């Protein structure tokens, strides 16, 4: 099993930006990362007229495209997070953006007027001081400090003592 956690916040608070800056810090620490993004809207990554689009239009439940450098699976149905996780392998940590209702460890992102969604957190990332917090709090721009904390959590995970599942 691979350690997993979710970065949760309200839409527009900066989850994607934080994860985008976090990934290179984790890579510098030789940590291989997978990211799963939850999209509350219907998205479409296919392009009209392309072969994969035509296969979907014809009724295929799953369409895959692959090359020497990339592979993608498009499932034309809802896929629960637990099922998506079964596809992921050969990484050290899985970061989930969103999925605030899933039963996985959560790191809250608080920025500006965006308060944290209700829930229990193992850490908080914030641009305002939070001295009342009972969990570690990291400045929203402290990617290095957060990465160090996370790398330590991953080491502890191997020994069964981490906050990550």
Per-residue pLDDT of the chain (165 residues; tens, 9 = 90+): 899 999 998 888 899 999 999 999 999 999 999 999 987 766 667 788 888 888 988 999 989 888 999 888 888 888 899 999 999 999 999 999 988 888 999 999 998 877 787 778 999 999 998 888 889 999 999 999 999 999 999 888 877 776 676
pLDDT of residue 105: 93
pLDDT of residue 99: 84
pLDDT of residue 162: 67
Q: Which CATH number fits domain 4-39+78-158: 3.30.360.10, 3.40.190.10, 1.10.1200.10, 3.40.50.300?
A: 3.40.50.300
pLDDT of residue 112: 80
The DSSP secondary-structure symbol of 81 reads: H
pLDDT of residue 165: 61
In terms of Cβ atoms closer than 10 Å to its own Cβ (0-12, 13-18, 19+), residue 133 is: middle
Q: Which pair of tokens denotes residue 34?
A: 């997978």
* Confidence (pTM): 0.87
Q: Is the dihedral of CA 1, 27, 18, 40 positive or negative?
A: negative
The domain locations on the chain are 4-39+78-158
Single out the residue of 77, 79, 130, 86 nearest to residue 108, CA to CA.
Answer: 130
């Amino acid at each position: 099993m691979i350690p997993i956690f979710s970065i949760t916040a309200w839409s527009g608070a900066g989850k994607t930006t934080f994860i985008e800056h976090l990934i290179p810090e984790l890579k510098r620490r030789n940590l291989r990362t997978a990211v799963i993004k939850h999209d509350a809207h219907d998205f479409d990554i296919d392009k009209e007229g392309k072969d994969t689009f035509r296969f979907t239009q014809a009724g295929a439940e799953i369409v895959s495209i692959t090359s020497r450098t990339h592979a993608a699976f498009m499932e034309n149905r809802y896929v629960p997070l637990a099922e998506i996780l079964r596809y992921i392998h050969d990484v050290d940590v899985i970061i989930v953006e969103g999925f605030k209702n899933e039963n996985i460890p959560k790191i809250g992102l608080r920025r500006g007027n965006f308060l944290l969604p209700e829930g229990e957190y193992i850490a908080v990332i914030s641009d305002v001081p939070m001295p009342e917090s009972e969990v570690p709090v990291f400045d929203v721009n402290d990617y290095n400090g957060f990465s160090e904390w996370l790398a330590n959590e991953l080491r502890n995970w191997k020994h069964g003592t981490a906050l990550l599942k």
